[in-house]
Structure 1
Amino acid sequence: MIYPVTVYGDPLLRKVAQPIDNDFEGLKELIDNMFETMYHSEGVGLAAPQIGKSLRIFVVDASSAADEDEPELDGFKKAFINPEILERTGDHWVMNEGCLSLPEIREDISRPEHVKIKYLDENLEEHIEEYGGFAARVIQHEYDHLDGVLLIDYLSPLRKRILKSKLNAISKGKVNTSYRIVLPGKSKLV
């Protein structure tokens, strides 16, 4: 099932998501649907709040970004359940990021180069792993969604003011996407 994407302006995107219980019904189906939605929307990551669910889970598949500089991305497809970032280390580096919940907005965002994360996989087995480069960036971006943080929160006040009309347009559904969206506070699909 392909979910519509929740866009900027919906209060759910600003809430801290709730942990998933060990007896959560339909976990495998949720993960499969999140991957399907992510692929349909041409994303490399998707967090549950972006599909209207206040749950601490996100999925990533950055294998399409694998190249000679980052061969470790080949096959990098995972679900992160109840993740906890333990450390962010290394130099900050800037990369242009986009977000399915902020269509038509791309901004240069500075993030630490490395991340150490504890999480449960789709079988509810615990892992502690370290990632660097693009994988670390995607993980940090999706993790932010679980804490109600959006990439625009990293921008200067001036840049936010410049984007204000675009953000207002997104919240009203006046945006072009290749995927379905849900307008803030409504069940109406666009």
Structure 2
Amino acid sequence: MVREIVVYPDKRLKLISKEVEVFNGALHDLLDDMYETMRAKNGVGLAAIQVGVDQRVLIINVPLEIEDGEHDQPKENTLEMINPVIVEKDGTEKFQEGCLSIPGVYEDVERAKHVKVEYFDREGNKQAIEDDGFLAVAMQHEIDHLDGKVFIEKLSYIKRKKFEKEWKKRQKES
């Protein structure tokens, strides 16, 4: 089921999500709905809080190029992370980011180049993954959501003020 995306400046995006304690059918349904929602909205990642659920759950599915510039995100390639924790990070890198909760806005954000994340899968098994590419950026972006942060908070003061002014204008027009 495709769920509605929570859009900035909705106060729910500021919530610090709660740890998942029960790995059951309700969690599996949430993960499946998040995948459908992410695909329907052309996203690469989605945190549960972005569909109004304040649990430490996120998914990422980096698109695969199939042919002629076409992309696919097969469900089996979806990284489902429950209660993720960054245990190592180093280096820095700038990457242009966007967000389903702030549609149409893309900005360069500085993040750690390399991260190692420990998390649980949908069955409650402990896992770890590390990356120093686009996946590392996506994991940091989505974990920020679980901590009540959105990527525009990482912008300089001037860029942030410019964004806020343009965003308010856009909200009034729609």
Query: What's the TM-score, normalizing by structure 1?
Result: 0.81
Secondary structure of 1:148's match?
Answer: coil
Paired residues of 2:23 and 2:122 also in contact (CA < 8 A): no
Cα distance per residue 1:142-161 (max 9 Å; x no partner): 01000011111110111111
Paired residues of 2:120 and 2:127 also in contact (CA < 8 A): yes
Secondary structure of 1:149's match?
Answer: coil
Question: Any residues of structure 2 matched to 1:1-190 within 5 Å, and which?
Answer: 1-64=1-64, 76-89=77-90, 91-169=91-169, 172=171, 174=173
Mapped to 2, the partners of 1:78 and 1:19 lie a distance apart of 18
Q: CA-atom RMSD, angstroms?
A: 2.1
Deviation at 1:78, TM superposition (A): 1.1
Counterpart amino acid of 2:30?
L
Unaligned runs of 5+ in 2: 67-72
Deviation at 1:87, TM superposition (A): 1.3
Query: What's the TM-score, normalizing by structure 2?
Result: 0.88
Counterpart amino acid of 1:58?
L
Cα distance per residue 1:99-143 (max 9 Å; x no partner): 000111100011111111110001110012212210101111001
**Inter-CA distance 101–169: structure 2 relative to 1 (3 Å threshold):** farther
Cα distance per residue 1:166-190 (max 9 Å; x no partner): 33246x4755xxxxxxxxxxxxxxx
Mapped to 2, the partners of 1:49 and 1:3 lie a distance apart of 11
Paired residues of 1:8 and 1:167 also in contact (CA < 8 A): no
Q: Percent identity?
A: 33
Corresponding pairs, count: 167
Counterpart amino acid of 1:156?
S
**Inter-CA distance 143–115: structure 2 relative to 1 (3 Å threshold):** same
Secondary structure of 2:116's match?
Answer: strand
Paired residues of 2:23 and 2:124 also in contact (CA < 8 A): no
Paired residues of 1:85 and 1:117 also in contact (CA < 8 A): yes
Paired residues of 1:63 and 1:77 also in contact (CA < 8 A): no
